[in-house]
């Protein structure tokens, strides 16, 4: 904001290609991540804040980022996000359940890979079908996932109720970690789960940032803008699309695994329904297509609005006055309106608003 790019000359290619070229940016983001997210929040946030605000917002942010890679960066409309999330969640569950030495980060990674492979399968029609016709494939993925985890009880380890409470047993967070009650208590507490979520989220953000500023991401965007033109300049459209589907569903899969392990603490195929797919899509639209920051802003807004309304209602009218139906309908109307208004006024979503604000702040006291 009050620092500028002007007059900074890079002296090496390495400097030129840095992820954050400005020293101030690097300093601020390090301060934010380490100082605020890791130290302040971990030390002072209450259990409620951690497990009902921070964790779900980050998890949904990752899912939104996943959808954004397919829709925002590559232009492939997907309505199966929640389905892909459930593939990740079930893969992680079965990996932890069936592999003795499995530990959480590896389980989440493999869950992402498995979801990604599923994503490639459902992305294959994208090589032939274009535009709106493609939503058939992703919707097939959505309904297929809802059906398969219901029809084959093996995935839920033959639980009769259809819901597995996680963790039904201990999980390792590090390889070869000893499973002691003390360790368990910490990693299953909201603080421990917050740390797991935060670390994975940051790793995924950095990975995504690097993908979209390298040839991978540029190929995605070329295919999005016009696939025939991309083909003409020598980009393999098929490879690019499948890659985008893989990465996108990888992110969704990891988000699904985090959703069940770190956020709600149980595994239930019912929650990964089409409505959740749409919620994630709203997050993408509100936050801004093709923006990493926007993915998280969108997730924060769409997830946070009903909570905010409930809290405000409690604060103004006294506790528990607003019934859930009112809050739900209200947030539907508000989010729906905001989507339409944003599409008309600012198609770039919150991310574009943020950038405009930043630009204005640069010159603010001195000129308009």
Binding site for another protein (CB under 8 A): 71, 75, 77, 125, 128-133, 135-137, 139-140, 143-144, 146-147, 150-152, 226, 228-229, 232, 274, 278, 281-282, 285, 325-326, 328-333, 335-340, 343-344, 347
Q: Could you give the 3-state DSSP secondary structure of residue 5?
A: coil
Kindly state the smallest distance separating residue 168's Cβ from another protein, in Å: 25
Q: What is the dihedral of CA 296, 300, 303, 307, to 10 degrees?
A: 170
Residue (199 or 330) nearer to another protein, CB: 330
| Rounded Cα gap, residues 43 and 27, in angstroms | 21
**Rounded distance between C-alpha atoms, residue 261 and residue 165, angstroms:** 9
Closest approach of Cβ 268 to another protein, in Å? Answer: 17
Gyration radius of the chain over CA positions: 21
Q: Which is nearer to another protein, 150 or 165 (CB)?
A: 150
> CB-wise, 46 or 321, nearer to another protein?
321
**Whole-angstrom Cα distance, residue 194 to residue 211?**
25
Give least dist CB 73 to another protein, A. Answer: 13
Residue 332: CB minimum distance to another protein, A: 3
Task: Kindly state the smallest distance separating residue 335's Cβ from another protein, in Å.
Answer: 6
Least separation in angstroms between CB 69 and another protein: 15
Cα atoms in the 13 Å half-sphere on the side-chain side of 355:
13
Q: Are 278 and 286 in contact (CB under 8 A)?
A: no
Rounded to whole angstroms, what are the CA distances from 138 to 76, 110, 289?
Answer: 10, 21, 18
With 0-12 / 13-18 / 19 or more C-beta atoms within 10 angstroms meaning exposed / middle / buried, residue 200 is buried
Q: Which residues contact 259 (CB under 8 A, 6 or more apart)?
A: 56, 59, 60, 63, 85, 89, 271
| Shortest distance (Å) from residue 81 CB to another protein | 13
Q: Which is nearer to another protein, 317 or 364 (CB)?
A: 317
3-state secondary structure (DSSP) of residue 143: helix
Q: Within 10 A of 221 (CB to CB), how many other CB atoms are there?
A: 16
Name which of 340 and 361 has its Cβ closer to another protein: 340
């Amino acid at each position: 904001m009050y620092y500028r790019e002007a007059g900074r000359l890079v002296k090496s290619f390495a400097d030129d290609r840095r992820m954050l070229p400005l020293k101030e940016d690097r300093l601020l983001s390090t301060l934010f991540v380490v100082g605020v997210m890791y130290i302040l929040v971990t030390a002072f946030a209450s259990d409620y804040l951690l497990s009902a605000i921070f964790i779900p917002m980050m998890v949904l942010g990752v899912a939104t980022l996943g959808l954004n890679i397919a829709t925002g960066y590559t232009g492939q409309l997907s309505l199966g996000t929640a389905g892909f999330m459930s593939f990740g969640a079930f893969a992680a569950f079965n990996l932890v359940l069936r592999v003795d030495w499995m530990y959480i980060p590896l389980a989440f990674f493999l869950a992402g890979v498995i979801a990604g492979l599923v994503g490639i399968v459902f992305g294959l029609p994208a090589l032939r079908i274009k535009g709106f016709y493609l939503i058939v494939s992703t919707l097939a993925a959505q309904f297929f996932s809802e059906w398969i985890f219901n029809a084959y009880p093996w995935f839920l380890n033959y639980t009769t109720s259809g819901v597995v409470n996680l963790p039904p047993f201990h999980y390792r967070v590090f390889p070869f970690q000893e499973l002691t009650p003390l360790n368990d208590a910490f990693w299953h507490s909201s603080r421990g789960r917050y740390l797991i979520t935060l670390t994975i989220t940051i790793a995924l953000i950095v990975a995504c940032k690097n993908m979209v500023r390298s040839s991978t991401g540029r190929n995605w965007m070329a295919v999005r803008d016009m696939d025939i033109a991309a083909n003409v300049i020598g980009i393999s459209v098929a490879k690019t699309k499948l890659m985008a589907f893989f990465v996108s569903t990888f992110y969704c899969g990891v988000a699904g695994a985090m959703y069940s392990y770190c956020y709600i603490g149980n595994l239930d195929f019912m929650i990964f329904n089409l409505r959740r797919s749409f919620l994630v899509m709203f997050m993408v639209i509100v936050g801004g297509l093709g923006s990493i920051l926007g993915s998280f802003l969108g997730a924060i807004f769409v997830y946070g609005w009903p909570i905010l309304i409930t809290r405000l209602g409690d604060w103004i009218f006294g506790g528990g006055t607003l019934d859930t139906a009112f809050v739900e309908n209200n947030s539907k109307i508000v989010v729906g309106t905001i989507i339409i208004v944003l599409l008309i006024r600012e198609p770039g979503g919150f991310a574009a608003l943020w950038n405009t604000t930043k630009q204005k702040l640069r010159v603010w006291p001195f000129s308009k």
